[in-house]
Every structure is written in structure tokens, then in C-alpha cells.
Amino acid sequence: MAVPQPSPAGFRSIATRLGVKDGADDFVVVVSDEPTTSAAVFTRSRFAGPSVRLSRAAADRVRGVVVVSGNANVATPRGLEHATLLRGQAAEQLGVPAEELLIASTGVIGRPYPIERMLPGLRSSLTDPLPEADFAAVARGIMTTDTRPKLHTARCGGATVLGIAKGVGMIEPDMATLLTFFFTDAAVPQPELDAIFRRVVETTFNALSIDTDTSTSDTAAVIANGAAGPVDLAEFERALHSCALALVKEIAADGEGAGKTITVEVTGARDAAQAKRVGKAVVNSPLVKTAVHGADPNWGRVAMAVGKLHEEHDIDPERVRIAFGGELLFPAEQTEALLDRAARHLGGDQVTIRVELGIADGEFTVYGCDLTEGYVELNSAYTT
């Protein structure tokens, strides 16, 4: 991946190897030259790791992020001590208060960091100041089972929004996704940034499910350093949303073992929340996911998945409509020609399933991927 142009001004970074992973960068730091506004959301897992706990307690206006990849530092006896030590050393080297750095860590659960190996490398690699930010290297440095880095930018007046993300399994985010960070040189006041970020996350990362499993390490943050001056806030929200949605689609496409992305557009619901529940039921159904994998226009499995929501008493099969791509399959006469056209859509690598509930005008779109033999192979063989 080429370094995208432009990058937000006023950020510095390093991506290096501290011996957590074999033969790849496993430690990155991004820091702003100047004070910032920022917002962040985290996993709600009861097994949230020490990195999440430290970052939750971080300052409102963080200066940067420290990310370790390859080890989640979760459910180990000295996890909090290690996370505190790593963040503290990084802060000391960079000359910023420790509570102004977010720390995040993903990878295997239940194994201690190789901390003796990590600390000397950390001290020798963190110069002050760091080199000018190389976001492409940062996007690569936070990967675990990802097959490719995920980075998107959007312009907003004279400012740039840049987002990176990692994570392709254990993904049904709830208030956040695995790891995603947005950096911008726009000046955005703190309360507005927080409100905008929560709205954006709700319709992007919280609309994504790879495999119904929720990580213990999910962290999403945006850091705005104001180097490009003030921007129109509505335009900023659109730019942030477009970056986030592009990252979500890339994560779905890179889902563990995935061959296709699945977009489920639910319309005609009582409200957006009901539409989201219906969309999640469809995109999470292993029988729907395997039917998509096999390019089988088996809309009966979509009906089954909608039907599982037995507490939604206003969902009436008589009013439900189900389409694959542009093809209405239920209700419809099941002709060979229709099923062939639907199968052709399912044979592509971007599948859209539409469910119209016929109740009111609530709508929500969710994102996921098919379930393949590759997912099973990867997760049977690999300790994550």
C-alpha cells in the first residue's frame, strides 16, 4: 500500500519490533506535536484487558497512542503492571504525561508479555522527537491476523481525516471495534468531537460483525490536533464517517477466511434499533453465511433468521420482503430464471441482502462476511 496523500499535519510516529511477534513490527506509537481534542470508546467485555482499563482512565485530550500487536495482555497475573510500565516508559521517552497516551494491545489472551525483551527495545527506539508520521507503517504495525493493512483518508476543508484499523476475527464490536484510530489536523472542540465520534461509530463499527465474538481489547479513538485550523463540523462528520465506513468494509472483506462481504440493508422497521437487530440476526446466522459462501439463493434461511426475533411481535411474515441484490425472492414465484439471477449476484464478492419489514420507516445497514472452511481452518490451527 502506497502512503496515501495527504496525511494530517503535526503527527509523528514509529513502528518497530520489540520481539512480541516473529519477524514483523509489533509496536507502534503515534503522537501529536501539539495538544489535542480527542474521543474514544472501548469494549464492554467483562474480561476487558489492562490496556483498556488504563485507556478508559486516560485524559480527555490524549496526545497519542501506543499499540502492541501479537499479545492482548489479557487475563495474565501481571498484565496491569506490564501495561503501566510500557506506557510509562513511552511517555517518559516522549516527554508527555502517561495519562495522555492511550495504550492498546491485541493478540493471544492469557500469555504474559515478553517484558524483559520489550523494554530495552522500547527505550532505544523512542527518540524525542519521533520522525514525521508514516501512517502506512503504523497501519501495518498494528496487524495480527489481518492479511492487509487498512487505512483511509478523507478531506474536510483544509484538513485531513486519516483512519487506520486492524482486526479480522473475534469481531462483533459493541461500542467499539478491535483497534481503530483516526488522526486529523482539523480543529474540533472536545464535546462536539465526542458526540460526532459516537454517532459515527454507531453506524459503522457497531454495524459490523465477522463472527459474533467480541474482543477483550476493542478500542476506537479519534485525535484532532487542530494544525489545519477550524472546519465545518457537518463536513467533518461526513469525512470521519466515510473513513470509518471504508475501514469497516475493508475489515469485512478481510474477515478471517472470508471470500465475500455481506451487506444487509433492513428497511421498513419500527425504528433503527429494530432494523439493526434484524440485520444482525441475518448477518450472524451461520446458515445465511454458508449459503452466501455457496452462492445458494436460499432466502428461506434469511426468513429463518428474521423469524428468530420472536419478541418482535410486529414482524409479520405476510408483510416481509426479502431480496438478494436487485432480485425480490420472497414473495415471488420461484422460477429457474429468478433463482439463476439471484445465484449470479451471490457468486460475486459483494453480496447485498435486503429485508423490508413493512412496519414503518426505520432502517439500518449492517456489514459482515461469509463463513468458509478457511475460517474454521484458521481458528482451529491458530492460537489467538
Residue 202 sits at the vertex; the CA angle it makes with 201 and 204, to the nearest 5 degrees, is 60
Total chain residues near its own copies (CB under 8 A): 62
Q: Does 303 bind its own copies (CB under 8 A)?
A: yes
Binding residue (CB under 8 A) for its own copies from 61, 111, 238, 321: 111
Q: Which SS3 state, helix, strand or coil, does residue 278 take?
A: helix
**Per the omega criterion (within 30 degrees of 0), is the bond before 6 cis?**
yes
Question: Which triple of cell numbers denotes residue 330?
Answer: 420472497
CB of 88 to its own copies, least distance (A): 23
Answer yes or no: is 16 a known binding residue. no
CB of 215 to its own copies, least distance (A): 7
276-286: b (≥16 Cβ within 10 Å) or e: bbbbbbbbbbe
Q: Could you identify the residue written with the cell 467485555?
A: 45
Q: Does 334 bind its own copies (CB under 8 A)?
A: yes
Q: What are phi and psi of 3, to 5 degrees?
A: -65, 125
The closest of 297, 336, 159, 334 to 230, measured between CA atoms, is 159
Alpha-carbon torsion (44, 148, 73, 379), positive or negative? positive
Q: Does 285 bind its own copies (CB under 8 A)?
A: yes
Q: Does 132 bind its own copies (CB under 8 A)?
A: no
Q: Does 299 bind its own copies (CB under 8 A)?
A: yes
Q: Could you identify the residue written with the cell 423469524?
A: 307
Helix axes 190-203, 233-253, angle to 10 degrees: 40
Q: Does 340 bind its own copies (CB under 8 A)?
A: no
Q: Does 305 bind its own copies (CB under 8 A)?
A: yes
Binding residue (CB under 8 A) for its own copies from 44, 117, 148, 199: 44
DSSP letters spanning 13-64: EEEE--SSSSSS--EEEEEESS--EEEEEE---TT--HHHHHHHTS-SS--E
Q: Does 298 bind its own copies (CB under 8 A)?
A: yes
Q: Does 287 bind its own copies (CB under 8 A)?
A: yes
| Single-letter amino acid, residue 114 | P
Question: Stretches 1-9, 43-51, 125-133, 267-275: which one binds its own copies (CB under 8 A)?
Answer: 43-51
Query: Across the chain, how many H-helices and E-strands are there?
Result: 11, 14
Binding residue (CB under 8 A) for its own copies from 34, 128, 132, 213: 213
Show which residues are catalytic: 177
CB of 56 to its own copies, least distance (A): 13
CB of 55 to its own copies, least distance (A): 16
Binding residues among 140-169 for its own copies as defined by CB under 8 A: 169
Binding residues among 47-76 for its own copies as defined by CB under 8 A: 47-48, 72, 74-75
- Structural element, H or E, at residue 356: strand 350-356
Which residue's CB is nearer to its own copies, number 211 or number 363? 211
Answer yes or no: is 298 a known binding residue. no
Binding residue (CB under 8 A) for its own copies from 294, 341, 344, 358: 294
Q: Does 270 bind its own copies (CB under 8 A)?
A: no
Which residue's CB is nearer to its own copies, number 91 or number 315? 315
Q: Are 75 and 65 in contact (CB under 8 A)?
A: no
CB of 120 to its own copies, least distance (A): 24
Q: What are phi and psi of 238, to 5 degrees?
A: -65, -40
Question: Which triple of cell numbers denotes residue 95?
Answer: 516527554
Answer yes or no: is 249 a known binding residue. no
Question: Which triple of cell numbers denotes residue 226?
Answer: 487542530
Q: Does 337 bind its own copies (CB under 8 A)?
A: no
Binding residue (CB under 8 A) for its own copies from 90, 315, 323, 353: 315
Question: Which triple of cell numbers denotes residue 359?
Answer: 412496519
Helix, strand, coil share of the chain (percent; to 5): 35, 25, 40
Answer yes or no: is 225 a known binding residue. no
Where along the sequence are the contacts to its own copies (CB under 8 A)?
A: 43-48, 72, 74-75, 77, 108-111, 169-170, 174, 211-216, 284-287, 290-291, 293-294, 296, 298-301, 303-310, 312, 315-317, 330-331, 334, 371-373, 375-377, 379-381, 383-384
Which residue ranges are tagged as binding site?
144, 166, 177, 256, 379, 384
> Which residues make up each annotated binding site for substrate?
144, 166, 177, 256, 379, 384
